[in-house]
Structure 1
Amino acid sequence: MPASQPAEKMGKMKKLRRTLSEMFSFPFFSSFCCLLPPQICVTKMSTRSCQGTDSVIKPLDTIPEDKKVRVQRTQSGFDPFEKPASQPTSPKFGKADSYEKLEKLGEGSYATVYKGKSKVNGKLVALKVIRLQEEEGTPFTAIREASLLKGLKHANIVLLHDIIHTKETLTLVFEYVHTDLCQYMDKHPGGLHPDNVKLFLFQLLRGLSYIHQRYILHRDLKPQNLLISDTGELKLADFGLARAKSVPSHTYSNEVVTLWYRPPDVLLGSTDYSTCLDMWGVGCIFIEMIQGVAAFPGMKDIQDQLERIFLVLGTPSEDTWPGVNSLPHFKPDRFTVYSAKKLRQAWNKLGYVDHAEELASRFLQCFPKNRLSAQAALNHEYFSNLPPRLWELQDMSSIFTVPNVKLQTESGDSIQVCSRKNSHGKASCGSKH
């Protein structure tokens, strides 16, 4: 039997490579994730978060802040990598030698991210190079990310331009966006301009509504995964933890979402969740943009994180949260009993913006089914003073194509974004007290 193991391993490798080759040539590639068994679709990852908070699962391609490079780039409404109609099968795309690696930006346990440049048109790109190892399950997180993104075309979702598959690697070629919301907030501490918060939130909800309508959950919403272009366009990125939810399921991992943005139902061990999982993260990010500090910056563990949530929203019971007693990690005697407070008591700046507190309260509901959906939130009164044309835009149209829609200057600074480094040469975000 031992002598047969090398042959079995080689057989598995050949099968994996054949699966990859076939997958990227099939027209139904974008639905591939739905076919993967749950134990393959959920992969644990661990890297340092921007806040310095430990998280069980974090994106592999988180780029150290001191390695990021600020560049100018075009708006994503125009995709320079789309193949011209007259050349639908240009051989230059899908080839490894069509891209030049400029510098390494970051490295995870199974992938390395490079800043690169396309030799086809000279545009900057981000190259996520996944190493295909002998273990069959190794690349499937990246395969899931690619399979989902290949079918998503929206101005507020990062564009996947190309996929390169070789014998040793799988490379995802993304549009290059020079900063993210974490760095933007670090550059402008104390809370963002209220008008900019509104535009960022509108774009976030717009992108989420698009994927939720396609039964896709992001599952890792946090400021580091929201890219910001030099025009102020916000893009959902890092779909490594995303899942296609085509049918009701109880098999999802509860070890998702960075701790500070993880909803109480998931913290308490629930694995039965839907789009409401992402909406809790939206509420946390909304408050962080307005107030200038993270909504629930747990510093110790899950117990500490839950205590911070219950201190503001009230300790749940079966009356306020039907079914809470059946959650694996809910033990009433472990938590101090708090009464719910008005959100402005915890975050005073919510009271300075019309309808902001009410909208935030609709996101931050402990009982998951009470959370406002992305589509419903877009029609909330908080956005009533925005131009009506924003609700008529095509998916690939940027909100900044609408006249008079633009970012305001933040606190007297230029709105050109660059990261402010701390004494250790790294950017911080959301951890100011």
Structure 2
Amino acid sequence: MENFSRVEKIGEGTYGVVYKARDKVTGKEIALKKIKLENEPEGVPSTALREISVLRELKHPAVVRLLDVLLADTKLFLVFEFLHMDLKRLMDITKGPLQLDLVKSYLRQLLEGVAYCHAHRVLHRDLKPQNLLVDVEGHIKLADFGLARAFGIPVRAYTHEVVTLWYRAPEILLGAKFYSTAVDVWSLACIYAEMASGRTLFPGDSEIDQLFRVFRALGTPGEDVWPGARLLPDYRAAFPRWPRREARLLLPAADSGSAARPTRREPVREHVAVRAERARVGARRPAAPLPVERAPGAARPAAAAFSAFHRLRRSSRRLLISVELISLSPVNKYLYFF
């Protein structure tokens, strides 16, 4: 870890903290996700293992790049390419709809990225603005694959409590144990509507409220629209019967004059420029480097590394083996265990 200097904390998730850092050798900015393992009896959390295994396999411009995985005693560091902010933060800064041509650009990139994941038999299962990263050049990338899983034959029952509530597909809300790539597409459609309108499409505060918001907007599904919906575990015959409506009525009308305007990427660029200026003028203290913690056995001859491996605690040995297995295992085979 001595090759990186920490700049600032930029986020915190369910199993770790994310820092903006700088590679001392190349000078490039990177994102470091630190995963603490002290309270994990099995070593590394399954969500982290999923993310590592998936991102070792997926290589696409619209998928965030995992650059390295570093082990340092009771900590695991995931090294990612750095992007300036997530889509949620960008929309909060904009305080309204994004420019239509930027929405179109983002949507195309997201569709291409999700199509790539699905072609490689991976469901993301947690698409939301907080898990989409953007930069000043207009790129947007899928991130946070902690809930991702492989799909295919044999068909397996999946966990139905996935995807943040506002972006959760109706089949999951109705308790489906078997679902497909459509759950990611539903999430993308909700995100698209939010980018274009500046407001959350279905901001439910409970599962039943979320479901009724969808039914109220699109109509309560019948066999003619959704064959088999009534057979799902949580479908009730007593559901209110809202009339069917076209989905396009939920989305704002396209601005006919937007095509003549250049794509606006100023919100991200301006935000980054303001932060840089504040850092320069504010005379902040230099960022402290990350603690120097070398993974046992790093950059040593094979015999010494083997000896160092046996001096590790049992939990650390299990973690190291897990990380190495990830690098050797195809993503589909590995993820079937979760």
Q: TM-score, normalised by structure 2?
A: 0.74
Question: Hey, what does 1:116 align to over in structure 2?
Answer: 21
Identity %: 46
Question: Hey, what does 2:101 align to over in structure 1?
Answer: 195
What is the CA-CA distance between 1:353 and the residue it aligns to? 6.3
Q: Which amino acid aligns with 1:418?
A: H
The structure-2 alpha-carbon separation of the partners of 1:316 and 1:110, relative to structure 1 and needing over 3 Å to count, comes to same
Aligned equivalents of 1:352 and 1:201: distance in 2?
Answer: 16
Q: Tell me the SS of whatever aligns to 1:150.
A: helix
Question: Hey, what does 1:286 align to over in structure 2?
Answer: 192
Aligned equivalents of 1:290 and 1:108: distance in 2?
Answer: 27
What is the CA-CA distance between 1:266 and the residue it aligns to? 0.3
Aligned counterpart in structure 2 of residue 164 of structure 1, from 48, 70, 79: 70
What is the CA-CA distance between 1:415 and the residue it aligns to? 5.8
The structure-2 alpha-carbon separation of the partners of 1:219 and 1:149, relative to structure 1 and needing over 3 Å to count, comes to same
Question: Hey, what does 1:207 align to over in structure 2?
Answer: 113
Question: Hey, what does 2:129 align to over in structure 1?
Answer: 223
Aligned equivalents of 2:135 and 2:55: distance in 1?
Answer: 19
Aligned equivalents of 1:312 and 1:208: distance in 2?
Answer: 25
Q: How many residues of Structure 1 are paired with residues of Structure 2 in the alignment?
A: 270
Q: Tell me the SS of whatever aligns to 1:187.
A: helix
Aligned equivalents of 1:217 and 1:329: distance in 2?
Answer: 23
RMSD of aligned Cα (Å)? 2.4
What is the CA-CA distance between 1:138 and the residue it aligns to? 4.7
Identify which of structures 1 and 2 has the higher relative contact order when contacts are C-alpha pairs closer than 8 Å and 6+ apart.
2
Which stretches in structure 2 are left out of the alignment for 5+ residues?
273-338
Question: Hey, what does 1:144 align to over in structure 2?
Answer: 50
Q: Is the 8 A contact 2:64 2:81 kept in 1?
A: yes
Aligned counterpart in structure 1 of residue 5 of structure 2, from 97, 100, 107: 100
Question: Hey, what does 1:338 align to over in structure 2?
Answer: 242
Deviations 1:179-218 (A, max 9, x none): 1211222222331221111111000011111111100111
Q: Is the 8 A contact 1:216 1:242 kept in 2?
A: yes
Q: Tell me the SS of whatever aligns to 1:350.
A: coil
Aligned equivalents of 2:237 and 2:137: distance in 1?
Answer: 48
Aligned counterpart in structure 1 of residue 271 of structure 2, from 386, 402, 418: 418
Aligned equivalents of 2:58 and 2:35: distance in 1?
Answer: 21
What is the CA-CA distance between 1:311 and the residue it aligns to? 0.8
Aligned equivalents of 1:153 and 1:136: distance in 2?
Answer: 29
Say yes or no: does 1:327 pair with 2:180.
no
The structure-2 alpha-carbon separation of the partners of 1:109 and 1:188, relative to structure 1 and needing over 3 Å to count, comes to closer
What is the CA-CA distance between 1:315 and the residue it aligns to? 0.3
Q: Which amino acid aligns with 1:122?
A: G
Say yes or no: does 1:350 pair with 2:253.
yes
Aligned equivalents of 2:248 and 2:15: distance in 1?
Answer: 43
Alignment of 1:396-411 (within 5 A): 407-408=263-264
Aligned equivalents of 1:288 and 1:105: distance in 2?
Answer: 23
Q: Tell me the SS of whatever aligns to 2:171.
A: helix
Q: TM-score, normalised by structure 1?
A: 0.58
What is the CA-CA distance between 1:137 and the residue it aligns to? 6.5
Q: Is the 8 A contact 2:134 2:140 kept in 1?
A: yes
The structure-2 alpha-carbon separation of the partners of 1:193 and 1:202, relative to structure 1 and needing over 3 Å to count, comes to same
What is the CA-CA distance between 1:109 and the residue it aligns to? 4.8
Aligned equivalents of 1:254 and 1:417: distance in 2?
Answer: 40
Question: Hey, what does 1:306 align to over in structure 2?
Answer: 211
What is the CA-CA distance between 1:407 and the residue it aligns to? 2.5
